[in-house]
A = this chain, B = another copy of it.
Amino acid sequence: MTTVGLVLYPQFTALDIIGPFQTLVDVPGLDVFFVAAEKGLIVDHSGKCSLEASRSFDETDSLDIVVVPGGFADRNLDNSNEVVKFVKKIHPTTTWTTSVCTGSIYLAHAGILNGLTATTHWASYDRLKALGAVPSEQRVIKSGRIITAAGVSSGIDMGLELVAVLYGDEMAKTIQLAIEYDPQPPFDAGSPSKVSPEFKSFVQGVFDNPNR
């Protein structure tokens, strides 16, 4: 079995990790599980969603695929952060090291995005750049064996691309049809380039000053 570790930590964003989860978990041959510093319930950024981690970082010495979600805990990180330390430990063992949203901030802190084109939540491009990566407004970016995806919902697109890389286009299309991923957003406001500068600044402000 190909092992897929989906990382959890306090204040993760739920859809960041459930998007990839749902594209991967029913694929034959993949052993998908949630992994965190400690086993047990991990609470998301809203405080309303508790997901269970079935493995600890300590008992996970190698993974074929790791997925690091974003959330609200990636300001003022340093090298003592448990997720950063786990990425440093696990990356040399993986076939694919991936992130969704500000999960790439952890990858950057672990020193594996230096000089690489990568993405993150659009409101965090500057932070990713300050950490040595080259931010780009693409939905999913492959740089060698590292894949970074944009904000929150992009993990679904990333997951399908990963399935295609691993098992071919037909398997990815099977999953896409199974999860009926034929998106029809009621508005066209999902990317900073699609909204007015004023609207973008307003939403950026919410992220810069989260009252949580």
Write the residues of chain A forming the contact surface with B, with a CB cutoff of 8 angstroms: 13-15, 18-19, 21-22, 25-26, 32-34, 41, 46, 48-52, 54, 101, 121-122, 139-140, 150-154, 156-157, 160-161, 164, 169, 172-174, 176-187, 189-192, 194-195, 199-200, 202-203, 206-207
Contact of A15 among B22, B140, B176 (CB under 8 A): B22
Residues of the B chain whose Cβ atoms lie less than 8 Å from the Cβ of A150: 180, 182
Shortest Cβ gap from A187 to chain B (Å): 5
A50 to B40, CA, bound (A): 10
* 6 CB < 8 A contacts A-B: A25-B49, A51-B52, A121-B180, A139-B182, A177-B192, A183-B190
Q: Is the beta-carbon distance between B179 and A15 smaller than 8 angstroms?
A: yes
Interface of A is mostly: mixed
Shortest Cβ gap from A30 to chain B (Å): 10
A175 to B26, CA, bound (A): 29
Contact of A22 among B122, B152, B181, B186 (CB under 8 A): B152
Q: Is the beta-carbon distance between B174 and A160 smaller than 8 angstroms?
A: no
Q: Is the beta-carbon distance between B174 and A190 smaller than 8 angstroms?
A: no
Shortest Cβ gap from A199 to chain B (Å): 7
Shortest Cβ gap from A184 to chain B (Å): 4
Given A139-B184, A160-B187, 8 more pairs with CB closer than 8 A:
A15-B21, A15-B156, A51-B51, A152-B180, A174-B199, A177-B189, A177-B191, A181-B190
Q: Are A200 and B183 CB-contacts (below 8 A) given A22-B13, A32-B48, A48-B32?
A: no
Residues of the B chain whose Cβ atoms lie less than 8 Å from the Cβ of A207: 178
Residues of the B chain whose Cβ atoms lie less than 8 Å from the Cβ of A139: 182, 184
Q: Is the beta-carbon distance between A153 and B177 smaller than 8 angstroms?
A: no
Q: Is the beta-carbon distance between B180 and A176 smaller than 8 angstroms?
A: no
Q: Chain B: which residue is nearest A31 at the CB level? A: B48
A195 to B50, CA, bound (A): 37
Q: Are A190 and B182 CB-contacts (below 8 A) given A21-B14, A174-B202?
A: yes
